[in-house]
Chains A and B, each alone.
Chain A
Amino acid sequence: MAKENMQIMVCGGTGCKGSQGEALIDNLKLELEANALENDIRVVRTGCFGLCELGPIVKVLPGEVVYIKVTPDDAAEIVSEHIMKGRKVERLLYSDPVTKKALISEKELAMHKKQLRIVLRNCGIIDPENIDDAIAHDAYEALARVLTGMKPVDVIKIIKDSGLRGRGGGGFPTGLKWEIAHNNKSDEKYVVCNADEGDPGAFMDRSVLEGDPHAVLEAMAICGYSIEAHKGLIYIRAEYPLAVARLKTAMQQAREYGLLGKNIMGSGFDFDIEIRYGAGAFVCGEETALIHSMEGLRGEPTVKPPFPAESGFLGKPTNVNNVETFACISPIILKGSEWFSSIGSAKSKGTKVFALAGKINNVGLIEVPMGTTLREVIFEIGGGIREGRKFKAAQTGGPSGGCLTEKHLDTPIDFDNLIAAGSMMGSGGLIVMDEDDCMVSVAKFFLEFTVEESCGKCAPCRIGNKRLHELLEHITKGKGVPADLDRLKNMSLVIKDTSLCGLGQSSPNPVLSTLDNFREEYEAHVTAKKCPAGKCKDLMEYLIISANCVGCTACARVCPVGAITGERKEPHLINPAICIKCGACMEKCKFDAIIIQ
């Protein structure tokens, strides 16, 4: 076959890199050299494909054959079989969790079928460390168009008309934000890219920066031109070393090509970008806290107004947008606002990237049009719930979002519908829970995060969240009383109502939404002192059903604390006062005689 047109794309995202992806690339190159193919066939280290749990991912072009969980040892077989002989390596193909059928190309994957990739358009397709590759995929074309034939107000109009809303969580109309920054006159203005992705489990911004850094640089320059700023700052957490490295490479290359710096493309427009590092505090994703952190101050929010568009970095008008928002800009300029606004729902246009996680078959990064239903995301793209269990809830919006349930499955996902359902878009985390998850514990888990990440500036967030967490802990220990549920609700509502910034204004969401949707589960904890999901250790008891027990003594022997007694061939008994609920007995019992109650 025509080997010279072949390319081997290997995911170079953080996940795949962490699973020996680099060694795999080295081996692939060695194998190609051994077969004297190194000049004909390129091995490209790309950005993320989105199938993170199945990594390292290798995609062979043409044909887009996707191999999953490829180890460095598999390199030889891929080269000798697929490259040399054109035979697919069957054992490395993805098998559909439902049909068990081996799927060859990415396009066949259910996970990809409903996806529409605008933000992630180049992730997994280009070599992020090669600007030529990016340019071949239209990078900087939008900037060229803007600089050569458009006035700032024209650009702002397109962005406004497109209906693009901020992807960082708030959903504020981007064009309007640009317009306000544009209208605030000042000798100096700043464009800030918020890459302080802080939601646990969310990595869409990181993937964009790792896989397509030029998309962000270009958009920042377009924004700079539109609001009349000449300096851009990317605020990124230091825990993203690969993204930082790729950004630096991209910035350097863009400067060499005259796409950043003085007199960009000979247009007379100057714009350059600097990187500012964050130390990874969640609250620094809030724009005022982010700006203070960049100024070298303690990363804590201040009251808005004044908004950054009036008084931001160093007191100058500053436009802050998130990575994903910036990644939408160039396609909008190139394809028009009508194209973008034709995608999505009535008030939420375009696509949204979600990080699927939890009890779902396909864990990873997906991009879908706004308005896609939760059912489509979970059951079609996500491949349904693991081990065929029953869907219970999905947490959107990160730790301060809310839980959506069965009744929300057919709700189109967009900014407004999520808020109406008691949750929020957030930055796009989507954690799926099944029937085995205790919703009180889930709320407690998320609260633990916000308690840890509160900056401590305002009392309701600093102390209130701690008190919420303590009360949830109390309830999961079986010490709660029914009146505690009203206290939970009151505290939650007051914390939301009185906190200074978005963190505290949303941190009680997991509590409120689980209280609303799973009140009976809370009630079981505080009245019957039972955890219906069997998750709360303090509320469960291991019991031996005497009818099933044959007296084999296996459980008594494995019990580390001697809590099980009984004569041989006689039903055994567990002493709950001694039992530490480790579950070893249950695992050992071959007769299903041990149950949790």
Chain B
Amino acid sequence: METVKLTIDNKTAEVPKGTTINKAARQLGIDIPTLCWMELHDLNIENRPAGCRICVVEVQGRRNLAPSCATNCENGMVVRTHNTRVLNARRTVMEFILSDHPKDCLICPKSGNCELQAMAHQLGIREIPGQEIAAMSTYRKDTSPSIIRDLDKCILCRRCEMMCNTVQTVGALSAVNRGFMATVAPAFEQNLEHSTCTYCGQCVAVCPTGALTEVDNTPDVLRALADPTKTVIVQTAPAVRAALGELFGMEPGTLVTGKMVTALRALGFDYVFDTDFAADLTIMEEGTELLGRLTRHLKGDKSARLPILTSCCPGWVNFFEEYFPDLKDVPSTSKSPQQMFGAIAKTYFADKIKVNRKDLVVVSIMPCLAKKYECQREEFSVDNNRDVDFSISTRELASFIKQANIDLNNLEDGEFDAPLGESTGAGVIFGATGGVIEAAVRTAYEVHTGKKLDRLDFTELRGLEGVRSATIDFDGFPIRIGIAHGLGNARKLLDDVRSGRSQFHAIEVMACPGGCIGGGGQPLHHGNSDIIKARAAAIYTEDRKKPLRKSHENPFIIKLYEEFLGKPNSEKAHHLLHTKYFDKKKKIVVKQ
């Protein structure tokens, strides 16, 4: 490997050719502050527009200061990272940035978790010269079902664009306007709702300031809890328990399932249930659908389209409705676990506890922002009463727990309530990429072959590779499985399906890199894939510890079919647990 030698702040470094000054400095223990720069480790993607100019350094012999995030080391370079010229420039640029930023930190959703705030503190900015005559660049606030854009707080780091375009290939966000009024917006400056946005929330996950945030539904939940006429129940998605602890100072990968249950009970929820239960239900429905389609397909029925695509992820559903509406009969018709839970809760469970569905409030805790949109889809309501009333993210739950003065760290472990709280390990692994298909394999194999699986850990389906494939032997019949996480990767598989090149029988897609554990509603991971890996490990640990690890063995699922649904893909199951998809390809609407 070719290396280059240079001097940074009088220390000598030898680094591989192509290393930036910033990274070389880090190796020497020199911290050059950065603002817009961001690295997504496993994706091998770096956001370095060199736009904020906070990381500038002096390179001897160059006329101007150089952005250390985007300047490669060269042999013989002499770099100064903190001399007076650099410090003065850095401070002045920071004053510029702050002069065009609202000062409402008191009520900003990012306060305390804002990279700009932290940088202002780090650079010791106490006042902003000329603020009294400084105009602010303003832009209309845009509230969608999932995401709020408050672009007055945008510092044009362009990270959201990178996520939306490079990683997700959704293309909803790009820079518009110029100069002082430059900002990031959908094409033709439409609102997000009228754009190609899938609400995956990856833009929110990387935004350094309060410019992109989730819609906060905790006040709605609080109001429901405070209303004595309502019975309020909650479901928690598998990925939440693997990340919530991070917001209470725990190490990434700490499982807080029991503590979370206790906290939710303390918050006043009448029943604390588990979305994992609905995940098991999803496997029953989706697995049956897969086997049905496969059988029909093998018998030569052309209407049975393969591969079957998973449909648990609402960001993914939005993506194919927008970009691949011609393939809308390809995905499984099974609703997502969130919506299956809602449908069962407001029928089977409401009947059981003799509460009118209008007085039963279903809240979901999700690692996801698209879930907020999903629960608002018209087809998931009965007489204007949603199956799932409110969806709040992991971050919102953490804030809610803190508001209620609950000390999560010191809580005793609690148990989920029955009957919608019982789940198998198969339901848990829905939280990680590859998990849904692994869970489906565990059940479909046994149902299809009538034989017992001798191993339950399909490690070939796990991992963080963007597109993965594996062939699973179904007792002599090879089932070819594809897995994609991140919508950019999903697009590749979908292009193959569209062109007829795809050889897969089943494909799992999750919109967010890493799957739900890397969701747009999770604690911010700042691109650090070690955090994602730790969360995945936690999920698989929980799976291993479960006494039951196959969905069809969940006794409450068996009971649900016996008492209520009949059998998988029955007419009643179809009515409650399946859905259809729509052509949502955006037409350019000039007037909103």
Contacts and interface: CB of A to CB of B under 8 A. Distances in A.
A455 interface: yes
Nearest to B177: A456
Interface stretch (A38-46, A241-249, A490-498, A532-540): A490-498
A281 B177 CA distance: 11
A164 to B, nearest CB: 22
Interface in A477-502: 487, 490-491, 494, 496-500
Nearest to B70: A303
B50 A303 contact: yes
Given A456-B180, A457-B156, A487 B130 contact: yes
Nearest to A461: B179
Interface size class of A (residues with CB under 8 A): 35 or more
A458 B174 CA distance: 15
Given A462-B180, A470-B134, A471-B130, A500 B92 contact: no
Interface string B87-106: 01100110011011000000
A500 B53 CA distance: 8
Interface in B147-189: 155-156, 174-175, 177-182
Contact of A452 (B56, B72, B179): B179
B71 interface: yes
A470 B136 CA distance: 12
B182 A462 contact: yes
Nearest to A306: B72
Contacts of B133: 470-471, 474
Nearest to A452: B179
Interface core residue of A452, A498, A500, A505 (most chain B CB under 10 Å): A498
A454 B175 CA distance: 13
B65 interface: yes
Interface in A289-318: 298, 300, 302-303, 305
B178 A467 contact: no
A505 B71 CA distance: 17
A460 interface: yes
A281 B97 CA distance: 24
B575 interface: no
A492 B552 CA distance: 70
B179 A456 contact: yes
A453 interface: yes
Nearest to A484: B130
Contacts of A455: 178-179, 182
B88 A490 contact: yes
Interface core residue of B67, B70, B93, B177 (most chain A CB under 10 Å): B93
Nearest to A483: B129
B258 interface: no
B66 to A, nearest CB: 9
Contact of B181 (A303, A456, A470, A496): A456
A464 interface: yes
Contacts of B130: 467, 470-471, 487
A480 to B, nearest CB: 10
B129 A466 contact: no
B179 A459 contact: no
A470 B135 contact: yes
A303 B180 contact: no
A129 B89 CA distance: 53
A371 B56 CA distance: 37
A476 to B, nearest CB: 12
B164 to A, nearest CB: 14
B97 A498 contact: no
B179 A453 contact: yes
Contacts of A595: none
Nearest to B53: A498
Contact of A494 (B93, B174, B181): B93
Interface in A435-478: 451-460, 462-467, 470-471, 474
Contacts of B175: 298, 300, 456-457
A497 B85 contact: yes
A458 B178 contact: no
B292 interface: no
A97 B11 CA distance: 67
Contacts of A505: 64
B64 A498 contact: yes
B463 interface: no
Contacts of A298: 174-175
B51 A458 contact: yes
Contacts of B135: 466, 470
B134 A467 contact: yes
Contacts of A459: 51-53, 93, 96-97, 155-156
Interface core residue of A303, A305, A460, A467 (most chain B CB under 10 Å): A467
Nearest to A470: B133
A471 B93 CA distance: 16
18 contacts: A300-B175, A451-B180, A456-B177, A458-B51, A460-B96, A463-B99, A464-B96, A465-B179, A490-B88, A490-B92, A494-B93, A497-B56, A497-B65, A497-B85, A498-B56, A498-B64, A499-B64, A505-B64
Interface of A: 281, 283, 298, 300, 302-303, 305, 451-460, 462-467, 470-471, 474, 487, 490-491, 494, 496-500, 505
Query: 5 tightest CB-CB pairs across the interface, nearest first?
Result: A456-B182, A454-B179, A463-B96, A494-B92, A498-B53
